Amino acid sequence: MKSLMNERYLVTPYFVFFLISSNQIGIRLASFQRDLIKGAGYDAWISILLCGVGIPIIVWMMYRTLNKAKKDVTSINRYCFGKWVGNGLNVIVSLYFLLAAYTSLRSYIEVVQVWMFPLMKTWQISIIFLLLIYYIVSGGFRVITGVCFWGVVIPFLILFPLVFFPLEFARFSNLLPFFHHSLNEIWISTREMLPPLLGFESLLLFYPFIKNPEKSQKWAHIGVMFSIFIYLTVAIVSFLLFNPARLPHVIWPTIHMIKIVELPFIERFEYIVVSMWCLAVLPKICLSLWGACRALKNVIPIKQRAVLILFVLACGIILNVLDERRMIEFAEDVYDHIGFYFVCAYVPIIFIITQMKKSPPDVSGSPSSDHPRF
């Protein structure tokens, strides 16, 4: 496929690995265990493997859809559902990615407040992060890709090895007996595991920014498998360390595990952990916010930078209005439910419709065929 965009806006196919994986490994890696075990208990590692089977199927559907349409999801919506319904769906897609950016940022700010600066107000922390996020997103998609690259490399090299240090306290009997939960319980845990792995659906928007995007599919699958490996490893180590009766009451089990690491020259090691976690959180926030701006810009004839400013201000207001724990959990639940139906219902629907249509969409004059800075 010959891209309609100037090559200087594009990234090579192997960067899709970092774009996918960095969006799946974020702040939810710190807390996913307590939701994961709601159904299948310590057999929930099976649910992670099932996600490792199901998500690649969804990614395959996305590529089949995008390869035929040769455009992003905003054009596909108009192609499948017509101009008015399609643009309405594009607005919903934009708000969905905005919600993804908000929930990731608000969850990380909460971690910072609990573990590092309990006396700092939300608005003080949010201003710092929103300025940084605006700077990154306004730099363009290639800058965001660079953040995604380091958002995978640095946490993997520095944080991930620390997970294995507490294994001296492991109790392998925690995992026994194997396979003593029903299929319904396994499904409940699988349903709970999908939200932490959301983020790969951003492919629907950044697909046109990939050189020879058809060749990037293998890197997308490798990125998903890498994320599954990370979650599976962290989950099993958590199961070995925490008693089954205690784990549901630990809000951030991964941080608690790494906190066990003791160094003679660092007294509060969790400060290092939480600070480094910023590099794992920024990619999803920035790419989701970029996707939200991109989707809305393709509906309304407005500069993408203006949309970015609007969304940054909206995030700043919402961050400080929805400041209570129950409100944060409510926003996360809404995002989890919408994300589940987005990847399990919406993606298959547009896949079926595009495969039934005989000809690809006419993209001439579509809003996404211009050459944006970002």
Per the structure, the complete domain to which residue 287 belongs is given by 14-358
In a domain, 4, yes or no: no
pLDDT of residue 6: 65
Q: Select from 249, 276, 239 the least CA-distant residue to 44.
A: 239
Residue 366 clears pLDDT 60, i.e. is over it: no
pLDDT at 94 over 70: yes
| Inside any domain, residue 109 | yes
* Within a domain: 365: no
Q: What is the mean pLDDT of residues 157-164?
A: 78
Question: Which one is predicted more confidently, 108 or 360?
Answer: 108
pLDDT confidence of residue 90: 94
**Dist. CA 285–CA 273, nearest whole Å:** 19
**CA distance linking residue 80 with residue 351, whole number of Å:** 10
The token pair at 314 is: 């909206």
Bigger pLDDT: 260 or 38? 38
pLDDT digits (tens, 9 = 90+) for 110-134: 999 988 888 888 889 999 999 999 9
**Residue 7 falls inside a structural domain:** no
206 within domain boundaries: yes
pLDDT at 374 over 70: no
Tally of domains in the chain: 1
Contacts of 276 (CB under 8 A, 6+ apart): 154, 155, 158, 159
pLDDT (0 to 100) of residue 373: 53
Domain membership of residue 369 (yes or no) is no
Calculate the dihedral angle through the C-alpha atoms of 181, 184, 189, 195, rounding to the nearest 10 degrees.
170
Asked if residue 57 is part of any domain, the answer here is: yes
Q: Does residue 373 lie in a domain region?
A: no
Residues sharing a CB contact under 8 Å with residue 289, sequence separation 6 or more, in sequence order:
97, 98, 101, 133, 137, 308, 311, 312, 315
- The CATH number that applies at residue 154 is 1.20.1740.10
Q: List the structure tokens of 337.
A: 């439910």
Q: What pLDDT score was predicted for residue 98? A: 94
For residues 93 and 306, give the distance between their C-alpha atoms in angstroms, rounded to a whole number: 18
Give the list of residues 6+ apart from residue 259 with CB closer than 8 angstroms, or none.
Answer: 269, 270, 273
Indicate the average pLDDT of the chain. 87
Is pLDDT above 50 for 368?
Answer: no
List of residues 6+ apart from 242 with CB closer than 8 A: 33, 174, 250, 253
Q: Is the pLDDT of residue 51 over 90?
A: yes
Residues 259-316 have pLDDT tens digits of 877 777 677 777 888 888 898 899 999 999 999 999 999 898 888 889 999 999 999 9
